[in-house]
Structure 1
Amino acid sequence: MPEKEKLRVDKYLWAIRLFKTRSLATEACKAGRVKLNGANVKASHEVKINELYNVAKGPERKIILVTGLLENRVDAKTAVNFYEDQTPVEQRAGFQSMFQAPQLRRDRGTGRPTKRDRREIDDLQQDYFDRNVEGSEE
């Protein structure tokens, strides 16, 4: 893939597949969800190799180190070669466990949970998340 010398941050984030569309990457920059050294970055900011970006995308937080410039969007296997994900393991495990949590279902027609039921459900969920966060640190 040919590399460019000058590349906008919104185009780069779209090319490495962090955002589905370039306009979503631009909106993230405008909303202050893309930061360089703790400061907000405009969508037109020039990306340079070895810069460290903090990107917030919903509940997910990523720390991306630029290892190469990529002008056009490519497949995910190729895009991985142009950045390094330096997000701490604790943050990655916490985000993934949110989607792997057990789904508690109630039988249809049983009505709303009582206060006691609600507390038991909360305790079960809290125990599950505490166990997974502790297990990922080992």
Structure 2
Amino acid sequence: MRIDKYLWCVRYYKTRSIATQAIQKGHVTVNGQAAKASREVYPTDKITVRRDQIKYLITVLDIPANRVGPKLVDIYRKDETPPESFEHLELLRLSKEHYRAQGTGRPTKKDRRDLDEYGLDIDDDDADE
């Protein structure tokens, strides 16, 4: 089975065309080598998929006849992605939320002035010491 079809069948990508685009961009490797969308996948192949800033490590266990339901995906692949990858993604999400709340838009002039005053206050305190 082609690798783009396999990744679509085991639900790593929503459509085959999205899977093909990811492969063309170099986000997918098979056994450590860059893959083309037409590359055949066999059981015991190791696939690395980079998606959403996470490198998923997959071992092919079997080839599905067609797209399978989410509950049946584990029959056809073994996910060996280290848990640290998901922790790293969570830290990135939290760091973005720390600076500015989601949906608040660009900083206003008042926000910028407050930041400038805050920066000046710190410098003034350092000069006094």
Query: TM-score, normalization: structure 2?
Result: 0.73
Give the whole-Å Cα distance in 2 for the aligned partners of 1:89 and 1:37: 21
Deviation at residue 96 of structure 1 after TM alignment: 3.4
Any gaps of 5 or more consecutive residues in structure 2?
Answer: 120-129
Question: Which entry has the higher C-alpha Rg, 1 or 2?
Answer: 2
Matches within 5 A, 1:116-131: none
Give the whole-Å Cα distance in 2 for the aligned partners of 1:13 and 1:38: 16
Give the whole-Å Cα distance in 2 for the aligned partners of 1:20 and 1:46: 20
Deviation at residue 80 of structure 1 after TM alignment: 2.2
Deviation at residue 59 of structure 1 after TM alignment: 1.1
Matched, 1:68 2:62: yes
Deviations 1:29-51 (A, max 9, x none): 11111112321101111110011
Q: Answer yes or no: is the 8 Å Cα contact 1:19–1:25 preserved in 2.
A: yes
Seen in structure 2, the aligned counterparts of structure 1 residues 70 and 93 have a Cα distance that, compared at 3 Å, is: same
Query: TM-score, normalization: structure 1?
Result: 0.68
> Is the partner of 2:57 in helix, strand or coil?
strand
Give the whole-Å Cα distance in 1 for the aligned partners of 2:40 and 2:56: 19
- The structure carrying a bigger helix percent of its residues is 2
Match of 1:23 in 2: 17
Any gaps of 5 or more consecutive residues in structure 1?
Answer: 1-6, 119-138
Matched, 1:55 2:49: yes
Match of 1:82 in 2: 76
Residue identity (%): 32
Seen in structure 2, the aligned counterparts of structure 1 residues 73 and 116 have a Cα distance that, compared at 3 Å, is: farther
Give the whole-Å Cα distance in 2 for the aligned partners of 1:74 and 1:117: 55
Match of 2:127 in 1: none
Greater relative CO (CA pairs within 8 A, separation 6+): 1
Q: Answer yes or no: is the 8 Å Cα contact 1:12–1:71 preserved in 2.
A: no
